[in-house]
Amino acid sequence: MDDVELRELVPHVLSVLVRRGADFATAEDAVQEALIRALPAWERELPADPTGWLVTVAWRAFLDMARSEATRRDREVRFDVEPPAGAVPSADDTLRLYFLCAHVDLTASSAVALTLRAVGGLTTRQIAQAYLVPERTMAQRISRAKRTVGQAGVDRPGDVATVMRVLYLVFNEGYSGAIDLAAEAIRLTRQLAALVDDPEVHGLLALMLLHHARRRSRTRADGSIVPLAEQDRSQWDAGLIAEGIVIVRAVLARDRLGEYQAQAAIAALHADAPRVEETDWVQIVEWYDELLRFADTPIVRLNRAVAVGEADGAAAGLAALAEVDEHVPRRDAVAAHLHEKNGDLAVAARLYVDAARNAPSLAERDHQARQAARVNQLLR
């Protein structure tokens, strides 16, 4: 059994402990202790029932933790008899863990960390490495999150929409550190999609798959950014694209459109075009118009302006861009692209310089600086 398969057992085991009356925070610590013990033990011999093995070891670890708390001696009496380990949690139990980790009283960063640990089965060290922060910092964040859930109670958990936002935050963290957070988010979203009959959950899964399919083509060997128009489409993962498109078509047929489905439809149109010249920009603009019904944000309007510029010409794109506040991140980059497309090279060069100055990352800064240098060279 590999590491991913082992982590997939975590929500089931944690659900058993919580159903038996264990408090969430201590139960989660006990499950982590069971995982640590499983690694060396299972290398010698894989148990016939891995889930049952983890439940038994985690329950004993929980009892040890409960007994060590002098102020909880009443709990020791209640839990001193070990129940049989055969009970398998229902889908509702596992789904409840998602909702608890997306508790309304948690910050976004705390909800993400708690989800990765309690549902994803990652260790504190792995999460810290993925987010490039000290292990102690991440341990404190997770402890605060568990304490918040414990103090606030379990009667105000998050909902499916909150869980999806948390998973999308995980996905967008990308590929830093030792853990591939994008792949982990896809794994957890697949699990959620199996538990919830919600078109938006499937739309989110499709969106993740379609973006993930282009992963290898987004950067060069030196780490520099490759724009969508310049990406080598032979590097795109055809299997993920096919799966994502099938999911998109199925959920759109249910006629219960939502934000993630609209985004997935846009991603599908990009992924389905054999060449950038064959991209159906007119239909993409139409989908952005649908997306605005659910998420009328500056970023959506910014991306729509790019699509309008491709579908109806640079002048139309600039008119659409005029509706976007000047302080929105990456607005200068979009304006530079549209002005260059419109033949205004001097304006484009200046805007590329501004975009580099205000870039949110080093890779983006370097990309925009190269764009400015390229256009300045054309001016000469």
Buried b (16+ CB within 10 A) or exposed e, 294-305: beeeeebbbbbb
Enter the tokens of residue 354: 């501004």
In whole angstroms, what separates CA 301 from the centre of its chain? Answer: 22
Alpha-carbon distance 225 to 228, whole Å?
9
The pLDDT assigned to 81 comes to: 40
Residue 378's closest CA among 354, 346, 352? 346
The pLDDT assigned to 173 comes to: 80
**3-state DSSP call for residue 219?**
strand
The pLDDT assigned to 73 comes to: 46
The pLDDT assigned to 77 comes to: 41
3-state helix, strand, coil in the chain (%, to 5): 70, 0, 25
Contact 277, 309 (CB under 8 A): no
Dihedral Cα 337, 342, 343, 344, nearest 10 deg: -70
Beta bridge partners of 269: none
Residue 213's closest CA among 267, 173, 263, 172? 267
Beta bridge partners of 219: 225
Residues in the chain: 380
What percentage of residues in the chain have a pLDDT greater than 90? 62
Q: What is the pLDDT of residues 47-60, one digit of tens each?
A: 999 999 999 999 99
Select the more confidently predicted residue: 139 or 72.
139
Is the pLDDT assigned to residue 85 strictly greater than 60?
no
Determine the average pLDDT of the residues in 91-120.
85
Q: What is the pLDDT of residues 2-36, one digit of tens each?
A: 778 888 888 889 988 888 888 888 889 999 999 98
Select the more confidently predicted residue: 376 or 67.
376
Per-chain mean pLDDT for the chain: 89
Judged by phi (left if over 0) then psi (alpha if -120 to 50, else beta), residue 313 lies in left
Alpha-carbon distance 314 to 320, whole Å?
10
Is the pLDDT assigned to residue 143 strictly greater than 80?
yes
Residue 97's closest CA among 38, 16, 176? 16
CATH architecture of 91-171: Orthogonal Bundle (1.10)
Enter the tokens of residue 328: 């929105």
Alpha-carbon distance 308 to 302, whole Å?
10
Is the pLDDT assigned to residue 362 strictly greater than 80?
yes
Q: What residue type is assigned to position 11 of the chain?
A: P
Determine the average pLDDT of the residues in 168-190.
83
Least confident range from 75-79, 202-206, 333-337: namely: 75-79
Quickly count helices (H) and strands (E) in the chain: 20, 0
